[in-house]
Structure 1
């Protein structure tokens, strides 16, 4: 199947990107002079992980082979993957289901009402592809033009990369945008071949040189809350805390609530 082939290619690309980040010195291998490419050679990684070099090469090449949990764990340890990268590796290797529907689920009216009940705290609900399904007035004011397009759903990733005002509002834009790319990479890895992610990522690449440069780095990240420095229109920059809650019956949907750091977070 095409989806399985795409997933195997994605797995190979992810492994190559992480192998290129590990130096021989980091894993105790002797320095052997100049190398044509950075990072470990395939043979070196296979030796350290205790697996066949040929078999590991097939894995990077996207061959139709099945890796066990033990083998994946050994590779993850050798590559020094963090917990999120490890999860991403296992998912790409077919050890977790991909369940996101090709078409978004409708948002129940009572769920859509929640951000409005949280006014004046900025709040919105997004789905797995960062489509904004419900947004209250405070969030619309904090993120200008988020819902400006009438011909398609508002999308937080599209706003971040393609809406010029985003760089004025998000003070540490590059840091936040890189984090968003890493979270998109993690989510897309959970749902390989899903057209909703493919369309969004292609659009962001077409419209943003940053997205084109950062996507091949294969960073992955999961985030459920944190702090952002934002500059609301007409105001000085301020620190905001935000918290994310997954909906119990629709875990791909996330309620995000913001509050200025000097105030308590609703939740």
Structure 2
């Protein structure tokens, strides 16, 4: 006979974070046994009752998956994913808890995967881990194959900004250049672009989005040549891009955040306007160097409509001189 020790609060906490719950029982001899319930895509209780025996090779596959995840985690620097390095970091790459945080899963749960524990992993969680680890298409396919799961978004590129592209960005200065995705997130930029509309370095990571800045940041808004028409055009481009991402949490979260912060955005968004992306001349009213007329060039860095490199060249000599002055100011601040 066993007496079960119930822990409803602990169990509820683990379910919210995605960690497997553990039911602990104590028998009369004082021994403690553990029955694991694994949370995944459609998995139920896996205490061993009424389930098939493990397939041959499962342990080998789990070990390979664990080793693969560790290798991918250790190659990523904190700076690549917007995390501070700190002065006491000894772990190469990211820590396990950092990957868990980026993927929004439980730390214990992710640790058990890297320990090759016998747990099931849902495709949705694998997708989150793939994005957190910046896996490219081949690596993502390998991850799902090792986990024995079907990729819900085959062909997805999860990579961040490669070091080579960062070098190109810096070499383009004093011409402003930025890597931006279809959600208007600012993924990387050079020193000139960092001062073009406002001081991007001083902004928190979650605010480095052109849509958010256009509707909520006074200095960014003031730098636009024609703010009213520009934000309306941006919202139309954003809605057109969102058609392929309507169910994705990051897109829905940005719309919700903008709707709460900006009555203007709510009004424009309710019009359901869409427009295809166009590239042309950009007028920027920089508070430090004056008005700039720039010609925009867009280069896709991966499968359309993935991230793109936007660079801006001066239309006239005055704009060129002012860009050079802007870069000098940026370098002085750096």
Give TM-score scaled by structure 1 length.
0.57
Pairing partner for 2:212 from 134, 158, 164: 158
Q: 8 Å contact 1:147–1:153 — kept in the other structure?
A: no
Please tell me whether the aligned partners of residues 171 and 231 of structure 1 are also in contact (alpha carbons under 8 angstroms): yes
Distance across 2 between alignment mates of 1:218 and 1:98: 26
Q: How many residues end up aligned between the 2 structures?
A: 168
Partner of 1:105: 159
Q: Does the 8 Å contact 1:142/1:233 carry over to 2?
A: no
Q: How do 1:113-262 residues align onto structure 2 when only pairs under 5 Å count?
A: 113-152=167-206, 154-248=208-302, 251-262=305-316
CA RMSD, Structure 1 to Structure 2 (Å): 2.7
How far 1:192 sits from its partner (Å)? Answer: 2.0
Shift of residue 107 of structure 1?
A: 2.0
Q: Which has the larger radius of gyration?
A: 2
Please give the alpha-carbon distance, in whole angstroms, between the structure 1 residues aligned to 2:155 and 2:203. 25
Q: CA deviation at 1:100?
A: 9.1
Output one character per residue of 1:226-256: Cα deviation in whole Å (capped at 9) or x when no partner. Answer: 1122111223323222111111457410111
**Per-residue CA shift, 1:35-81, capped at 9, x if unaligned?**
xxxxxxxxxxxxxxxxxxxxxxxxxxxxxxxxxxxxxxxxxxxxxxx
Equivalent residue of 1:212, what SS?
Answer: helix
Note the residue ranges of structure 2 that are not aligned, 5 or more in a row. Answer: 1-151, 321-334
* Mapped partners of 2:316, 2:160: distance in 1: 36
Q: Which consecutive aligned stretches of 4+ in structure 1 deviate over 4 angstroms post-superposition? A: 97-101
Per chain length, whose mean CA-contact separation is higher, i.e. which structure has more relative contact order (CA < 8 Å, sep 6+)? 1
- Contact 1:146/1:159, CA 8 A, preserved across alignment: no
Structure 1: how far apart are the matches of 2:312 and 2:207?
Answer: 21
1: CA distance, partners of 2:243 / 2:155: 11
Q: Which runs of 5 or more residues in structure 1 are unaligned?
A: 1-96
| Number of the residue aligned with 2:132 | none
Q: CA deviation at 1:106?
A: 2.1
What is the CA–CA distance in structure 2 between the aligned matches of 1:100 and 1:179, rounded to whole Å? 30
Distance in 2 between residues matched to 1:154 and 1:123, nearest whole Å: 15
Partner SS state of residue 152, structure 1? helix
For 1:191, what is the secondary structure of its paired residue? Answer: coil
